Structures are given as C-alpha cells and as structure tokens.
Amino acid sequence: QGPLEKGQQLDVVDIYSGNLKGGGTRFEKVKTPKDLRPGDTMHLNRPGDEIDHIRIIISVKTTPEGYIEFTTGESTSGGPRGATWRYEKADTFRKNPIKTLKSDGTWGGVKSRDSNITYGRYKKLESK
C-alpha cells in the first residue's frame, strides 16, 4: 500500500470517526508526539459520549525548547475551527498532558474528558 496516486481519493463512505483513529484497519497509530505529521488524525474519545470526534493535523513544529506544537482543523456545529496544541515531551504521550493555546496567548490544560486522544496516520498516505 503506497501513497495515493494523482487523482485518487480516499473513499469516505461509511467512515465514522472511530474508523479514523490510530490502530484501526486503515490507520496506524502514531506512537510519539515527535512523529506527528500534517494529515494525521487526532481522535477524541469522550467517555460516556455516543459520538467520538476527529481533528485533522494541519502543521507540526518543534520549538527551541524541544516542545512539539501542532495545529488542527475540525468541523463543528458552529462551523470550521482551528486550534493549537502542545506536548512538552517529544518522546511519549504517556504522562505528558496535552496543552492548548488559549485566546490570551497562554498555554492551558484540557478537561480530563477531552484528554483521551489517539493519533492515527492513514496507511495509504504513508510512503514505504
């Protein structure tokens, strides 16, 4: 399974957000923050909610401090929305709380119900 060919499209019929997370049939799990790339999915599983949520990673950078910062885009009932996120440890998601850039320019934590995140990469986009 190589990358998509020119003009080839991802078949999105009956693809629910749970099918877009890392570890699924067509999506491999992204193992560390430093491995994140544009096009990866950020799958949010909120315990108790019937519907999961997907964000698409748009850009990723490593700061001079070694933090991994990335932006996401998502569709919401209020229209499209973007956000910026940070992991302060590049080598692990475990015991490495995600932070979000707040409107006042400071970094803050997320609600615990929003911290159950799995990152995925569509296997057909991965060049071998």
pLDDT in tens, 40-89: 999 887 767 666 788 999 999 999 999 999 999 988 888 899 999 999 99
Picking from 25, 4, 32, the residue whose alpha carbon sits closest to that of residue 95 is: 32
Mean pLDDT of 21-28: 73
* Entry field: residues in the chain: 128
**pLDDT tens-digit profile of 93-105?**
988 899 999 999 9
Which region among 21-35, 50-64, 94-108, 113-127 has the lowest average model confidence (pLDDT)?
113-127
% of the chain residues with pLDDT over 90: 47
Our measurement of the distance from residue 4's CA atom to the centroid of its chain's CA atoms, rounded to an integer in Å, reads 20
